[in-house]
Amino acid sequence: MAAAPNTSQPIPQLIATELKSTNRAAGLVSAWVRDLIVSLGISAFIIVFLYQPVKVEGTSMMPSLDDQERIFINKFVYRLEAIQRGDIVVFRYPRDPAKSFIKRVIGVAGDRVRIEDGRVYLNGKMLAEDYVPRAYEDERSYPETVVPTDSYFVLGDHRSLSNDSRDFGPVGSNYIYGKAVFGYWPVEKVGRLR
């Protein structure tokens, strides 16, 4: 006669232990799925309402931003703070609002802007523009203009290749929808934009 297998726990306890471990695994999977859904929801909220990934098209902002560079723009920041001189902004092109442009703010409402042989004068003083390398300067002039209320005078950093306020005038604040804040591609250009 064969001996019965020796079990240290009775059968009902073994079944209860297996059910507990099955329930624990189901609980872990459920928590993981819940966390994933919450993370996706938060990411969608951030992308839709706060930050938006954008691909730069064109060379008008070189060397600050290269053609095909990927950046994040903050779509919410200008609800909390004013647009500042030096900000890199994304806006709907005034002559065709279906297109978006990216430029640097040079003058705000009430500023007097004048360009003589490529040198920019703001309120009578020449700007020191370290973001415009010598190779990207041009010789264009622009008569003195006062930036209207709720408008901004914008220029591309690559002055000789930029279609900007020298061509289409100051940009109304209602056209500006974001501030370029962070580059994420290519890897060598990862970091805050200035």
Tens of pLDDT, residue by residue over 116-173, are: 999 999 999 999 999 999 999 999 999 999 999 999 999 999 999 999 999 999 999 9
**Per-residue tokens: 48:** 């839709």
Beta strands at 191-192 and 171-172: parallel, antiparallel or unpaired:
unpaired
Catalytic residue among 43, 55, 100, 103: 103
> Are residues 43 and 61 located together in one domain of the fold?
no
Confidence of residue 8 (pLDDT cuts 50, 70, 90): low
Q: Is 103 known to be catalytic? A: yes
Catalytic residue among 21, 39, 43, 60: 60
Q: Is 173 known to be catalytic? A: no
Q: Specify the pTM.
A: 0.78
pLDDT of 4 over the 70 cut: no
Tell me the backbone φ, ψ of residue 84, rounded to 5 degrees: -110, 155
Q: Write out the residue range of the structural domain in which residue 149 sits.
A: 56-192
The greatest distance separating any two alpha carbons of the chain, rounded to the nearest whole angstrom, comes to 112
E strands, 93-160, in order:
100-107, 112-116, 119-122, 125-126, 142-146, 151-155
* DSSP at 46: I
Over the chain, what is the mean pLDDT? 89
> Are residues 17 and 60 located together in one domain of the fold?
no
> How long a stretch of residues is the chain?
194
> Are residues 153 and 105 located together in one domain of the fold?
yes
